[in-house]
Amino acid sequence: MSSPSPHHQILLLGGTAEARKIAEALAARDDVSAVLSLAGVLSQPPKLALPLRIGGFGGIAGLVQYIQDHGITTVIDATHPYAAQMSAHAVAACDQTGARRLTLWRSPWQSEARDDWTEFDDWPSLIAAIPAGARVFLAAGQDGMSALPPHSDFTVIARALARPNDLPAMVTLIKALPGKTPQEEADLFARHGISHLICKNSGGESSRAKLRAARDLNMPVLMIKRPPPPPPPCYETPELLLAAL
Ligand code: NAP
């Protein structure tokens, strides 16, 4: 008996834990054919059951071309909420080609009574607000590290999965995943004498423990504001998105 022909040709834009979850679910379905696309930030991409393509498409025009060349019927945008450019390109390319788009959009974290969070529109204004003598823990990805000045009157300990090419010499890099518990994060902050936390408002559970630790330690948190959500349809979880598919 011949296998059923796929109903959906899916391009999955990844780079998040949710995208990996969606990839596993798609790989298990026989009514879809899907490819996972990664920007190529990590030197070792995760091993997943879907075919992988790596690297930018070349702007909106390149993505339109890719969609047309590969007969893509559906684009799933499961990029990080701060990957605003890729998400905007997905919106524009789907509008131009008529491909269906489903976007994963985690809600931002909400501050609670004992939190001391300040939000900034951009990196220069956030960096200008760091007091002299501060020992900051930077958990904000590559763009946070790239935004740092070459010299400063504060100390930076940054956590990331990969070492960026343009890491300023004054940064101490910890290559690690986020700690799983507030206690683990609090211990790390104590070991490095951290006075301030800098991060994004990424939402979700996988990197939330650092904010709980900051709350417990009455530590000020400086955050870069979230980009606005893409136009609907947006789904909070992989499960909701897959159900809509
Ligand atoms: P971005 O600023 O929105 O995108 C910059 C460019 O990178 C895009 O225009 C596109 O290049 C390329 N790109 C981004 N995601 C891609 C993907 N999944 N497949 C192919 N090309 C992609 O993105 P970013 O903030 O640099 O993030 C890069 C990747 O890291 C994303 O996959 C994102 O999900 C992940 N990530 C980002 C953050 C964050 O805080 N920004 C955190 C965790 C994970 P072209 O224009 O050439 O197509």
pLDDT in tens, 68-100: 999 999 999 999 999 999 999 999 999 999 999
Residues 68 and 154 in one domain: no
What mean pLDDT value characterizes the chain? 93
pTM for the model stands at 0.92
Which pLDDT value is given to residue 3? 47
The finding on whether 58 has its CB within 6 A of some atom of ligand 1 is yes
Is 213 inside a domain boundary?
yes
Say whether both 132 and 182 belong to one domain: yes
Q: How many domains does the chain have?
A: 2
Judge if 95 and 158 occupy the same domain: no
219 plus 232 within the same structural domain: no
Residues 217 and 127 in one domain: yes
CATH of the domain at 182: 3.40.50
- For 176-207, the pLDDT digits (tens) are 999 999 999 999 999 999 999 999 999 988 89
Q: Judge if 81 and 121 occupy the same domain.
A: no
The answer to whether residue 72 sits within a structural domain is yes
12, 64, 86, best to mutate for ligand 1 pocket (most atoms within 8 Å of CB):
86
3 belongs to a structural domain: no
**Same domain, residue pair 142 and 87:** no
Q: How many CA atoms, within 13 angstroms, populate the side-chain half-sphere of residue 117?
A: 20
For residue 228, give Cα distances in angstroms to 15, 80, 107, 201, 232. 19, 12, 11, 12, 12
Residues 235 and 141 in one domain: no
Q: Which atom of ligand 1 is nearest to the CA of 87?
A: 3
Ligand 1 in contact with 118 (CB < 6 A)? Answer: no
Domain that holds residue 22: 8-107+228-244
Q: How far apart are CA 63 and CA 74, in angstroms?
A: 13
pLDDT of residue 1: 43
pLDDT of residue 151: 86
Q: How confident is the model at residue 133 (pLDDT cuts 50, 70, 90)?
A: very high
User: Which pLDDT band holds residue 6 (cuts at 50, 70, 90)?
Assistant: low
- Pocket probe for ligand 1: among 79, 126, 166, the residue whose CB has the most ligand atoms within 8 Å is 79
Q: What are the strands, taking DSSP E only, across the chain? A: 8-13, 32-38, 52-54, 74-77, 100-104, 117-120, 135-139, 155-160, 171-175, 196-200, 221-224, 234-235
Does pLDDT of 120 surpass 60?
Answer: yes
- At residue 163, the pLDDT reads 84
Q: Kindly tell me if the per-residue pLDDT of 236 is higher than 80.
A: yes
Nearest to 239 by CA among 49, 17, 75, 25: 25
CB of 82 closer than 6 angstroms to any ligand 1 atom: yes
Tell me whether residue 2 is in a domain: no
Answer whether residue 225 shows pLDDT above 60. yes
Q: Which of 27-41, 150-164, 209-223 has the highest average model confidence (pLDDT)?
A: 209-223
